[in-house]
A and B are shown apart, each in its own frame.
Chain A
Amino acid sequence: MTGRFNFTLLFLLSLFAVILLKLFYWQVVKGQELFELGLSQYGTTITLNPLRGEIRTSDNFPIAANKTSYLVYANPKLVKDKEKTIKILSETLKVNIASASASLNKDLFWVPIAHKVDTKVKDNLERLQVLGIGFEKEYSRFYPEASMAAHLLGFVGKDENGRDKGYFGVEGYYDRLLRGKEGVAVQVHDAFGKPILSKINPRTPQINGSSLILSIQRPVQFLVEKRLKEGIEKYGATSGMAGVMDPKTGNILALASFPSFDPKNYQDFSADLFKNPFVSNRYEPGSTFKPVVMSSALDSGAVKADTKCPVCSGPVEVGGFEIRTWNNKYYKDTNMVEVIQHSDNTGMVYISQKLGVDKMLSYFEKFGVGGATGIDLQGESVPTLKPRNSWYKADLATASFGQGISVTAIELLDAIGAIANQGKRMEPHIVSAIETKDGKVIKVEPKTLSSPVSPKTAKIMTEMMVNAVNKGEASWTRLKGYRVAGKTGTASIPIQGHYDPNSTITSFVGFGPADDPKFVMLVVLNKPTTSIYGSETAAPIFFQIAKDLFNLYNIAPGGE
């Protein structure tokens, strides 16, 4: 009797165990697979696109915002008159007839016809009540200031999966922050497999992108672009760029370059125009580089402001090369202040010899020459310096007046910014704050990169640059009543192992007011045709912008 009970008990327990195991198999081992299978019977998984974050200027004005647009789709099975529908679609949406025809002839319930369709176009199409055509809301980039700061912004294109992706500028650098995170939803079908549009069940909601608040001051950007554009036309240059930075914080206040592109219609422009030349292009800076070398020599004690140049009475021979001044004028026993004032190449050669290669390279490193500044823009180029053992006497000499050495404009602007900021070099940056999707604002704090020279050296160098503005070759265009520190630059362009005899890169770098700088600015023109000199092309643009800035910041004249 007991044996039979035990047998029955064992049998039933085994049966339960088998059922439990099978249940475990279906619910745990195969659970996800069956869930997906079930899901596919009543719906399909669709992606919910997040709203891309805005890009705003320092006054909180969105220069890259989002606007409502529409995805126009078709259900080919519902389209009765295909020819008529194709004609309407091609006329209203400007889509290719062949592509519209191919879409409508597909054996599908849903085919996309056009993305980012404007509300007005969608309304016109909707009014025609075309059977089988539907609309889905989406967002596209909108630029209230049109192509202003295009190089700085970059643009939004598509990645290999057809999703929005930022390229170049801030859009490229901060793409992950701006784009947010996609969500997933289930599109429920009816018994015939047709989607029920009102039945979308979100499974994981999308997370909208964060917005960026730039340090760019909209009026400054506007003025810089206006003056630069006028200057390029006036002086017949092939291109030009200008950057304005707050030397105390590293905040970029404006960054402009021409020719430019329209971020909304980027596909209509050559890809060469997308790179921001201010951070991506290398060039030989010419005499605008002299303040970097001079302040290095002053700081190291190699020379003093009143040191007389013993080799400046004529051309100097270095390593088999004869080095002349830009205008072939020579000043015997000239001092260091006058070397900068006259932009004297022979004086700079003397300084470089007193400084020596090791010290010069050490100062270059501290000034950030030959390294990345770390600016938060996509595509910063890093012009590396030659290794120490490849520096010959002639290299040292030419580098002292900014030839045979290449920099990016942002690198030079940042280096001169250190002189303006009592010897402290700040990290240049564009984004001053990040606003998360829930409204939390995270500020980007200024960062000191290095202290290449002492405050005392920076002060002496500033006075030398003020003297160069007031008495140098660009004094005709200076702003009377304002103390502005600056230096002109006229650099030859290297082509295939020699310098182009017919064209130059002209530039002007400086800051103002010299005693309490509100801005440091660099203006560069490529191959101006009216004059080959920086003092006659880049300098007037610099001072025109400086005048606008003094007015904008309410800084009254009151100096020399």
Chain B
Amino acid sequence: MHKLVLKILIITALFLAAGRVVVSNAISTSGVALGRINEEVAVLKTKNDSLKEELFSKASLENIASEAGKLGFTDKKESYVLTSPLPVALR
């Protein structure tokens, strides 16, 4: 009985060791890919930062006012106001 258990344990250990070798072999080149992905993430982050910067500059009121001025928009002198609200419906 004891011998059988011992055999099973040894066989399991051998299988696990072999499995580890196979898995290690399979993922041994993934580090390069991971490094490449990390680099790509860093580049995209930097690009995202610079796009954000551009977006904020374009969305700034200073920029909008200057663009509006170039397009010929001016301050409105008077506002039109409806002094009494119109009824929703008339009977």
Which residue of the partner chain B has the closest CB to A137? B46
A558 interface residue (CB < 8 Å to B): yes
A551 near B79 with CB under 8 A, answer: yes
B61 near A222 with CB under 8 A, answer: yes
B49 interface residue (CB < 8 Å to A): yes
B79 near A119 with CB under 8 A, answer: no
A144 near B60 with CB under 8 A, answer: yes
Within 8 A of B (CB), among A509-560: 551, 556-558
Contacts of A556 in B (CB 8 A): 81-83
Contacts of B61 in A (CB 8 A): 145, 148, 218-219, 222
A142 near B53 with CB under 8 A, answer: yes
| Cα separation A62 to B53 with both chains bound (whole Å) | 10
Q: A119-B46, A145-B62 are in contact. Are A65 and B81 (CB under 8 A)?
A: no
Which residue of the partner chain B has the closest CB to A147? B62
| Cα separation A137 to B82 with both chains bound (whole Å) | 57
B22 interface residue (CB < 8 Å to A): no
Contacts of A61 in B (CB 8 A): 56, 59
| Cα separation A144 to B59 with both chains bound (whole Å) | 8
A558 near B53 with CB under 8 A, answer: no
Main secondary structure of the interface of B (DSSP, over half): helix
B58 CB, min distance to chain A CBs, angstroms: 9
Within 8 A of B (CB), among A384-401: none
| Cα separation A359 to B82 with both chains bound (whole Å) | 48
Candidates A148, A219, A557; contact of B81 at CB < 8 Å: A557
Within 8 A of A (CB), among B7-63: 46, 49-50, 52-53, 56-57, 59-62
B68 interface residue (CB < 8 Å to A): no
| Number of residues on chain B facing chain A (CB within 8 A) | 16
B49 CB, min distance to chain A CBs, angstroms: 5
A282 interface residue (CB < 8 Å to B): no
Contacts of B57 in A (CB 8 A): 144
Q: Which residue, A68, A146, A219, A557, has most C-beta atoms of chain B within 10 A?
A: A68
Candidates A67, A145, A551; contact of B60 at CB < 8 Å: A145
Mark each residue of chain B from 47 to 91: 1 if its CB lies under 8 Å from any CB of chain A, else 0: 001101100110111100100000000000001011100000000
| Cα separation A556 to B79 with both chains bound (whole Å) | 9
Mark each residue of chain A from 66 to 78: 1 if its CB lies under 8 Å from any CB of chain B, else 0: 0110000000000
Candidates B52, B56, B59, B65; contact of A222 at CB < 8 Å: B65
| Cα separation A104 to B30 with both chains bound (whole Å) | 39
Which residue of the partner chain A has the closest CB to B79? A551
A558 near B83 with CB under 8 A, answer: yes
B62 near A68 with CB under 8 A, answer: no
Which residue of the partner chain B has the closest CB to A69? B49
Contacts of A222 in B (CB 8 A): 61-62, 65
Which residue of the partner chain B has the closest CB to A558? B83
Contacts of B62 in A (CB 8 A): 145-146, 148, 222
B56 near A62 with CB under 8 A, answer: yes
Contacts of B50 in A (CB 8 A): 67-68, 119
A67 near B59 with CB under 8 A, answer: no
Q: A61-B56, A144-B56, A222-B65 are in contact. Are A67 and B83 (CB under 8 A)?
A: no
Contacts of B53 in A (CB 8 A): 65, 67, 142, 144
Which residue of the partner chain B has the closest CB to A544? B75
B40 CB, min distance to chain A CBs, angstroms: 15
| Cα separation A551 to B81 with both chains bound (whole Å) | 10
Contacts of B83 in A (CB 8 A): 556, 558
Contacts of B60 in A (CB 8 A): 144-146
Within 8 A of B (CB), among A205-219: 218-219
Candidates B49, B65, B81; contact of A67 at CB < 8 Å: B49
| Cα separation A142 to B57 with both chains bound (whole Å) | 10
Contacts of A68 in B (CB 8 A): 46, 49-50
Which residue of the partner chain B has the closest CB to A63? B60
Within 8 A of B (CB), among A127-145: 137, 142, 144-145
Contacts of A218 in B (CB 8 A): 61
Contacts of B82 in A (CB 8 A): 556
Within 8 A of B (CB), among A79-131: 119
| Cα separation A67 to B62 with both chains bound (whole Å) | 19
| Cα separation A137 to B39 with both chains bound (whole Å) | 13
| Cα separation A67 to B45 with both chains bound (whole Å) | 11
Contacts of A137 in B (CB 8 A): 46
Which residue of the partner chain B has the closest CB to A57? B61
Which residue of the partner chain A has the closest CB to B53? A67
Contacts of B65 in A (CB 8 A): 222
Which residue of the partner chain B has the closest CB to A226? B65
A386 CB, min distance to chain B CBs, angstroms: 44
| Cα separation A144 to B62 with both chains bound (whole Å) | 9
| Cα separation A202 to B15 with both chains bound (whole Å) | 38
Contacts of B59 in A (CB 8 A): 61, 144
B76 CB, min distance to chain A CBs, angstroms: 8
B18 CB, min distance to chain A CBs, angstroms: 33
Q: Which residue, A137, A144, A218, A551, has most C-beta atoms of chain B within 10 A?
A: A144
A116 CB, min distance to chain B CBs, angstroms: 14
| Cα separation A42 to B65 with both chains bound (whole Å) | 56
5 A-B pairs (CB sep. < 8 Å): A67-B53, A146-B60, A148-B61, A218-B61, A557-B81
Q: A145-B61, A146-B60 are in contact. List 5 more A-B contacts (CB 8 A).
A: A65-B53, A67-B49, A119-B50, A145-B62, A558-B83
- B residues within 8 Å of A by Cβ? 46, 49-50, 52-53, 56-57, 59-62, 65, 79, 81-83
- A residues within 8 Å of B by Cβ? 61-62, 65, 67-68, 119, 137, 142, 144-146, 148, 218-219, 222, 551, 556-558
Task: Kindly list the 6 A-B residue pairs having the minimum CB-CB distance in the complex, ordered from nearest.
Answer: A144-B56, A222-B61, A144-B60, A68-B49, A556-B81, A145-B60
